Amino acid sequence: MGKVIAIANQKGGVGKTTTAINLSSALAHYGKRVLLVDFDSQGNAGRGLGVDVTALPFTIYDVLTGEKEISAVLMKTGEPRLDLLASNLKLASLDSYFIQKGKNNPFYALKEALVPVREAYDYIIIDCPPSLGLLNINGLVASDSVIIPVQCEYFAMEAVAAILSSIVQIQNSYNSALRIEGFLLTMYDQRTALGTTIAREVRDLFRESTFETSIPRNISIPDSTMQGKPVTTFRPNAQGSLAYFALAREILGHV
Ligand SMILES: Nc1ncnc2c1ncn2[C@@H]1O[C@H](COP(=O)(O)OP(=O)(O)OP(=O)(O)O)[C@@H](O)[C@H]1O
Ligand SMILES: [Mg+2]
């Protein structure tokens, strides 16, 4: 049975999608079968893999509303062993759809949707949106563990406190098995005082659960997104790629 890992932090722009794409690609590089679930209506995980998400006839929205089988919506990507469950702006209307239909257990929709494909993958990586709303809760309820990217910037620790309290609430109410896979320092620049200060704070507070690997700020990462490719295949020797390969190896070493 595949391991389901959410990438979550309600703070915007901290490297969730970049981590989701490149961790997925790096795990596939190491021979694992991976499904990347784009669970954000911005559709950036799909775009980062070169998909024109605005033109898709069906997306994860149609799976969650019961209109389509998940197997009919899954897409191959340009990367071997990496599949995508794409999303687009339509996903933003899921809350109102569920309210209108009076849906029972709306927080379990993603978990239930993934059941038919859990055997087919070694890892299912969920790129969560920057919110603590319905989608984020669904992402955490569906997951075995969560990676929390922490950008080494102002207000990083406030965001960490908020996501941690959300995780505890979910553990208490819906998914007691949810574990923290790790805190991941992103866009880390060790030449800046702020970067090193935040990194030290996170490592001091969460020593056991902070990944040894940190992701450096690296221009090859936005460059590869522009090309619609993971940096790990677009420029496999770039510092950003080496970091995501190292992160994948750390995760492969976790039980
Ligand atoms: N290590 C890095 N080096 C340089 N740029 C980066 C790095 N990681 C992410 N970025 C850039 O920072 C921006 C935000 O990253 P990303 O989209 O991954 O964040 P996010 O947390 O998914 O954002 P959102 O909350 O909007 O979903 C993007 O333009 C991305 O290319
Ligand atoms: Mg994102």
Residue 255 has pLDDT above 80, yes or no: no
What's the CATH number where 95 sits? Answer: 3.40.50.300
> Phi and psi for 94 in degrees, rounded to 5?
-65, -40
Chain centroid to Cα 3, Å, comes to 13
Nearest to 181 by CA among 6, 18, 1, 2: 6
Amino acid letter at 239? Answer: Q
Q: Is 135 in the pocket of ligand 1 (CB under 6 A)?
A: no
In terms of DSSP bridges, do strands 75-76 and 82-85 run parallel, antiparallel, or are they unpaired? antiparallel
- What is the distance between the terminal CA atoms of the chain, rounded to a whole angstrom? 13
Q: Is 17 in the pocket of ligand 1 (CB under 6 A)?
A: yes
Residue 81 has pLDDT above 90, yes or no: yes
State the distance from the centre of ligand 1 to the C-alpha of 101, rounded, in angstroms. Answer: 35
Nearest to 90 by CA among 46, 24, 149, 25: 46
What is the arithmetic mean of pLDDT over 172-190? Answer: 97
Q: Output the pLDDT for position 86.
A: 98
State the distance from the centre of ligand 2 to the C-alpha of 192, rounded, in angstroms. Answer: 25
Q: Output the pLDDT for position 154.
A: 84
Q: Which of 16-20, 76-80, 205-209 has the weakest average pLDDT?
A: 205-209
Q: Output the pLDDT for position 213.
A: 97
Decide if 84 contacts 49 (C-beta within 8 A). Answer: yes
With cut-offs at 50, 70 and 90, classify the pLDDT of residue 114: very high
As to burial, measured by CB atoms within 10 angstroms (0-12 exposed, 13-18 middle, 19+ buried), residue 48 is buried
Q: Output the pLDDT for position 63.
A: 98
Interior/surface letters 120-130, b for 16+ CB within 10 angstroms, e for the rest:
ebbbbbbbbbb
Atom of ligand 1 nearest to the CA of 130: 25
Decide if 14 contacts 198 (C-beta within 8 A). Answer: no
Atom of ligand 1 nearest to the CA of 218: 3
Number of separate domains in the chain: 1
The string of pLDDT tens digits covering residues 192-248 is 999 999 999 999 999 889 999 999 999 999 999 999 999 999 999 999 999 999 999
State the distance from the centre of ligand 1 to the C-alpha of 192, rounded, in angstroms. Answer: 19
User: Which structural domain range is residue 120 located in?
Assistant: 3-253
Q: Is 66 in the pocket of ligand 1 (CB under 6 A)?
A: no
d(CA 77, CA 210): 30
State the residue for tokens 């070169």: 50
Residue 153 has pLDDT above 90, yes or no: no
d(CA 39, CA 57): 17
- Give the residues across from 37 on adjacent strands: 85, 126
Q: Is 136 in the pocket of ligand 1 (CB under 6 A)?
A: no
The string of pLDDT tens digits covering residues 160-171 is 999 999 999 999
- Is the entire prediction scored with pTM above 0.85? yes
